[in-house]
């Protein structure tokens, strides 16, 4: 018979020795390996109590930015949704009403804006496509959760709080040619 690779191994029904049959040496061997790792330096951290420093250009949870006056930058143009390869972004546009000029920078705004974090691959194309500097990825990690529905992030989670601005300047000035 022709062999496709030179890695084929002939299977033999070898009879187990007495020590192999009682499994004790194998169990002790396994426990020795476990014991050895007790005294080794750990490469893991106890997340979320301990967090490793993230690169300032890490692509994590998105933020929808406000301008200096606290108005939402997003004009619901839909370019981020169109550019998203995972089809993770959906939105509903609305017209800004009289008296809402302090809330929304443009005449059109996103009444609802949602990102499905389970679909998102954190590629950053939405950020690239946005003409209004409204959406950025940040160095925040999307929290784990139990229900799939919890991963649909709406404006309540995406728009930055007025009193807790999220600094994205490092992403904008980073020299990607380095
Ligand atoms: S980071 Fe990529 S996958 Fe995620 S929402 Fe933006 S464009 Fe879509
Ligand atoms: S985030 Fe930017 S690209 Fe997306 S709808 Fe808003 S303004 Fe348009």
Q: Which residues contact 8 (CB under 8 A, 6 or more apart)?
A: none
pLDDT tens digits, 123-134: 999 999 999 999
Is 57 part of a structural domain of the chain?
Answer: no
Exposed e or buried b per residue across 95-124, where buried means at least 16 C-beta atoms within 10 angstroms of its C-beta: ebeeeeeeebbeeebbeebbbbbeebebee
pTM of the model: 0.77
Is 47 part of a structural domain of the chain?
Answer: no
Residue 126 CA to its chain's centroid (Å):
14
Ligand 1 centroid – CA 137 distance (Å) = 9
Q: Quote the CA–CA distance of 115 and 30 in Å, as a whole number.
A: 45
Q: Which residues contact 86 (CB under 8 A, 6 or more apart)?
A: 116, 119, 120, 121, 123
Q: State if residue 84 touches ligand 2 by the CB under 6 angstroms criterion.
A: no
In the chain, how long is the greatest CA-to-CA distance? 88
Is 157 part of a structural domain of the chain?
Answer: yes
**What pLDDT, on a 0 to 100 scale, did the predictor assign at position 13?**
86
**What pLDDT, on a 0 to 100 scale, did the predictor assign at position 146?**
94
Is 54 part of a structural domain of the chain?
Answer: no
Ligand 1 centroid – CA 166 distance (Å) = 19
Q: State if residue 80 touches ligand 2 by the CB under 6 angstroms criterion.
A: yes
Is 117 part of a structural domain of the chain?
Answer: yes
Specify the number of domains making up the chain: 1
- The SS3 assignment for 34 reads helix
pLDDT under 70: residue ranges of the chain: 1-2, 176-178
Q: Which two tokens stand for residue 145?
A: 């959760």
CB-count exposure of residue 144 (10 Å: 0-12, 13-18, 19+): exposed
Is 93 part of a structural domain of the chain?
Answer: yes
**Nearest-5° Cα angle at 160, 135 to 120:** 45
Q: State if residue 135 touches ligand 2 by the CB under 6 angstroms criterion.
A: yes
72: which DSSP letter?
B
Give the CATH number for residue 127: 3.30.70.3270
Ligand 1 centroid – CA 95 distance (Å) = 25
For ligand 1, atom 4, name the residue with the nearest CA.
Answer: 120
Backbone angles phi, psi at 31, to 5 degrees: -70, -35
Other beta carbons within 10 Å of 34: 8
- Nearest ligand, CA of residue 88? 1
Ligand 1 centroid – CA 86 distance (Å) = 7
Q: How many residues does the chain have?
A: 178
Q: State if residue 75 touches ligand 2 by the CB under 6 angstroms criterion.
A: yes
For ligand 2, atom 5, name the residue with the nearest CA.
Answer: 76
Is 77 part of a structural domain of the chain?
Answer: yes
**What pLDDT, on a 0 to 100 scale, did the predictor assign at position 131?**
96
pLDDT tens digits, 11-28: 888 898 999 999 999 999
- Nearest ligand, CA of residue 151? 1
Other beta carbons within 10 Å of 148: 10
Is 116 part of a structural domain of the chain?
Answer: yes
| Domain extent at residue 86 | 62-173
**What pLDDT, on a 0 to 100 scale, did the predictor assign at position 157?**
96
For ligand 1, atom 1, name the residue with the nearest CA.
Answer: 122
CB-count exposure of residue 62 (10 Å: 0-12, 13-18, 19+): buried
């Amino acid at each position: 018979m022709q062999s496709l690779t030179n890695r084929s191994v002939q299977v033999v029904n070898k009879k187990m020795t007495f020590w192999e049959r009682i499994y004790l040496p194998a169990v002790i061997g396994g426990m020795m390996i476990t014991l050895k790792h007790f005294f080794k330096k750990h490469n893991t951290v106890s997340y979320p109590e301990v967090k490793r420093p993230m690169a300032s250009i890490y692509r994590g949870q998105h933020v929808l930015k406000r301008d200096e006056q606290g108005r939402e930058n997003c004009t619901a143009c839909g370019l981020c949704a169109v550019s998203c390869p995972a089809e993770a972004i959906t939105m509903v546009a609305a017209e800004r009403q009289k008296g809402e000029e302090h809330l929304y920078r443009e005449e059109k705004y996103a009444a609802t804006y949602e990102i499905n974090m389970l679909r998102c691959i954190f590629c950053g194309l939405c950020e690239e496509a946005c003409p209004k500097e409204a959406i950025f990825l940040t160095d925040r990690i999307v929290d784990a959760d139990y229900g799939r529905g919890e991963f649909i992030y709406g404006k309540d989670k995406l728009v930055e709080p007025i009193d807790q601005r999220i600094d994205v300047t490092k992403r904008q000035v980073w020299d990607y040619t380095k």
